[in-house]
Chains A and B, each alone.
Chain A
């Protein structure tokens, strides 16, 4: 019967067709060893796909990795974590300071003075040889120019909100500003005005009331009035200035030269509200970005803000491809409305053009992104011809591709490092990363408001064991909120010891005693709470279980809960509805900890969700933010570190180490002036990753023999 024959042959045919395709498959050997082009490609694996390849718009780490290769910023950090210029060749940091002339106040040695008299007075004081006060002398020597800004009257519109959630109202102020003195300094001096009071009299700045010079067309409350007075007519004002000199001859991938206009355009793109850039808060203190000539850009800030300098590592966007005319043309070409077409909708985000060492080639959604070497890179083209970013969402298949040789690097788990240590094909190295894992306690809830309880809870967990067994040694103890490899970290603070007996004693002083069943209780109420964390992170899940077990041993009943990331964040953390939480911070090197530790950031939806409030700490945080001198900053940071370690608002667990496992054949190749080629091993740098010299990496056909340096 033909039907029967069909039923026998159809499946056999199908199976044969499917199976014979095996014979056409290139094996892994053919792909790697038999393929010389493979040596010139660097293939890396990632779990997630990038979203928008635009440094101004993107916030996820995959986009960040690609942006780091395609785009380049003005500066970045070198291997000792000091700033080095990339697109910028050199820079100067200085400041302009302003203060209003207050003719009614008497100045010692001068009497009341108007603007010009005052200016001359300060000039004379500068030239005077004998100034007893060393601080004042120091400040005065830094002043390079004194001038007078004539008085003027202007109007300004501001928005005011009567209560949260209500639409803001626009009001108008008329400002009759008196004359101002402008001082240009060659360095940023936080204490300038404090020192000047020694010359001008203690009350000179204090007695200036900005509100006297303002008129408003609508009624405002006392606090609103005071706030606007402070904003529009401050007695003193610091305007730090960053002056960058750009390197000549740096080109974008399409051949255009990079100029200061591109820097200014990048800044405007970040600040444009239509673009919804997540980096707006970094650039909010900027007052203006001025283009002085095509290779010089001057950035003036509204107030002292030392983390500002580091923000200029953001990739520079090409203005000629993204300015409003270009966007309009693109909108019309795509048939969209030019008025609402913004940077977010541009096809640039899927095909970026920057000035970095690699040029964008293709992006197959959720499969791979390829970048080609940019031959006109200002520092010389990188050794790798191609960089490929493959998206492999499953960690196990990533590992298998790595063994097979079709991946050069992937995100290694600590237990895998152990296994690969002894494999002669691979080299591995690790360094501490920027960020730490901690257990945070909600200080608004009893019993976590008592620092003894928090300390005791920390002492009950054997953190060294966690590092040894769960992380396989890929972690280090951490005692405070700074990045461990910077000098801001106070290495003198000792970590919390593992001491369950001591913990019990501490808890006893706080009123907790063991009852008959072995559980801790105070005033008849048993000590129990809930520890939560987010799902998707096996390490945090392990810590949850370990902490629960450790606390069970000293008699505390702990429930654990794992929540999906978005729910975890929105419903528990942001609404401040938790007892204790296992989380981690991923940070930058800058020691500005305002958002995490300042007492003003303890409201819902802010980042000081544990509710840490300490006046001394607040002072130090503000001082750190405004200090431009590195050594003084370090001093303040050490003090802050000590306070936080004492009060234990978090139990600081560990800072994890990143580990990279690479083929042993990947080395750093440098060509010296004579043309001779040298190979060195890759070593990790303090920058928290190992790709610092990536442009100089090369993969050799065999493992080289490194000669001893002799």
Chain B
């Protein structure tokens, strides 16, 4: 076990190092340079551009810039070029904004996929199965922003309540209960939109796993023994089908730093996706590289955790 952990950690650190180099190269070799000033303002001169470049070390060779950047990152000093705020503070703030969206979305996905997937598997080929398949694929096939607009227009014109933003504007004077409920309402639509894709995929996966397990001989035995169907399905089949999903818990980690740009733009949600998108357009290198780095760390940590969980949960695997 320990040797596995050790080997894994070493491999992942090397991977992280390569990821940092690759992302650095992509950003710097891409065309276009960061420009703080609106260059089509007729008062702009090339000397200002030069001064900016010097200030942000852009005139030094690439490897020097690389060392500067990562030194600043690990000491926590990286600063965004657009508005001079500490990048880590910015990311943390946006992360806290995206977190409720992510949590609610994941909750919706997981609590809805399992019952649907299990029932589909049990009644394979029946009406329920076909309807569930159709509906879940319907949700995943609508272009995201089209669905978002349709929903927003529907809710706003029908119910006359605000849906965009993290909270209703101007509600700061109301009671705590009102504020919490207000937040929950604003979370509803965006997380439903974010969850639609996940539900389809996850419920399909649950279904196929359940079907695979149900085809095994011991389930047949259980049925033949005359056990009540609930026991057969939930006590025997489901527990064994659950195996890959335990490992999927680890893969949730990378989702923390993600965030759909499209949903956040439409709902004016100040989240990670939008920040990273604006940083790419403004060539705000510190922000882009830091987000990349943090996301890589989370992905690698996530796969590590899922490997570990796999070891723990499946007694057949021995190292």
Question: Quick one: which of B52, B164, B268 contacts A276, CB cutoff 8 A?
Answer: B52
CB of A154 within 8 Å of the partner chain: no
Contacts of A565 in B (CB 8 A): 281
Nearest B residue to A282, CB-CB: B43
How far does the alpha carbon of A25 sit from the alpha carbon of B171 in the complex, in Å? Answer: 10
Contacts of A24 in B (CB 8 A): 177-178, 181-182, 185
CB atoms of A570 and B162 under 8 A apart: no
CB atoms of B185 and A570 under 8 A apart: no
CB of B111 within 8 Å of the partner chain: yes
Interface residues of A in 1-50 (CB under 8 A from B): 1, 3-4, 7-8, 10-11, 14, 17-22, 24-29, 31, 35, 38, 41, 43
CB atoms of B84 and A349 under 8 A apart: yes
CB of A523 within 8 Å of the partner chain: no
Interface residues of A in 568-605 (CB under 8 A from B): 569-571, 574, 583-588, 593, 595-596, 605
Contacts of B41 in A (CB 8 A): 59, 278, 586
How far does the alpha carbon of A8 sit from the alpha carbon of B283 in the complex, in Å? Answer: 48
Apart from A52-B84, A595-B43: 15 A-B pairs, beta carbons within 8 A: A1-B234, A25-B162, A25-B168, A27-B160, A282-B43, A345-B79, A394-B268, A397-B152, A397-B268, A404-B160, A406-B162, A406-B169, A566-B32, A566-B282, A596-B42
CB of A366 within 8 Å of the partner chain: yes
Contacts of B149 in A (CB 8 A): 396
How many residues belonging to A are interface residues under a CB distance threshold of 8 Å?
77
Contacts of B31 in A (CB 8 A): 566-567, 570-571
Nearest A residue to B93, CB-CB: A365
CB of B184 within 8 Å of the partner chain: yes
CB of B118 within 8 Å of the partner chain: yes
**Residue ranges of B at the interface with A (Cβ–Cβ < 8 Å):** 31-46, 48-49, 51-52, 55, 79, 82-85, 90, 93, 104, 107-108, 111-112, 114-115, 118, 149, 152-153, 156, 159-162, 164-166, 168-171, 177-178, 181-182, 184-185, 187-188, 230-231, 234-235, 238, 265-268, 270, 274-275, 281-283
CB atoms of A11 and B181 under 8 A apart: no
CB atoms of A1 and B231 under 8 A apart: yes
How far does the alpha carbon of A39 sit from the alpha carbon of B169 in the complex, in Å? Answer: 15
Nearest B residue to A24, CB-CB: B181
CB atoms of A27 and B82 under 8 A apart: no
CB atoms of B235 and A1 under 8 A apart: yes
Contacts of A17 in B (CB 8 A): 184
Question: Quick one: which of B36, B270, B274 contacts A59, CB cutoff 8 A?
Answer: B36
0 or 1 for each of A203-216: is its CB under 8 Å from B? (1 = yes): 00000000000000
Contacts of A585 in B (CB 8 A): 40, 42
How far does the alpha carbon of A574 sit from the alpha carbon of B267 in the complex, in Å? Answer: 36
Give me 8 A-to-B residue pairs in the complex whose CB atoms sit less than 8 angstroms apart, sorted by A's number.
Answer: A1-B235, A7-B115, A365-B270, A397-B267, A566-B32, A566-B35, A570-B32, A607-B44
Question: Quick one: which of B35, B166, B182, B274 contacts A393, CB cutoff 8 A?
Answer: B274
Contacts of B270 in A (CB 8 A): 364-367, 391
Nearest B residue to A14, CB-CB: B111
CB of A401 within 8 Å of the partner chain: yes
CB atoms of B36 and A392 under 8 A apart: no
Question: Quick one: which of B107, B166, B170, B185 contacts A367, CB cutoff 8 A?
Answer: B166
Nearest A residue to B188, CB-CB: A18
Q: Which 6 A-B pairs have the closest CB atoms?
A: A566-B32, A24-B181, A366-B270, A21-B185, A21-B184, A7-B115
* Shortest distance from the beta carbon of A535 to any chain B beta carbon, whole Å: 10
CB atoms of B281 and A564 under 8 A apart: yes
CB atoms of A21 and B188 under 8 A apart: yes
How far does the alpha carbon of A7 sit from the alpha carbon of B39 in the complex, in Å? Answer: 58
CB of A159 within 8 Å of the partner chain: no
CB of A197 within 8 Å of the partner chain: no
How far does the alpha carbon of A537 sit from the alpha carbon of B160 in the complex, in Å? Answer: 31
Contact flag A14-B108 (CB < 8 Å), given A25-B161, A59-B38, A564-B32: yes
* Shortest distance from the beta carbon of B99 to any chain A beta carbon, whole Å: 16
CB of A541 within 8 Å of the partner chain: no
CB atoms of A570 and B33 under 8 A apart: yes
Question: Quick one: which of A52, A278, A587 contacts B83, CB cutoff 8 A?
Answer: A52
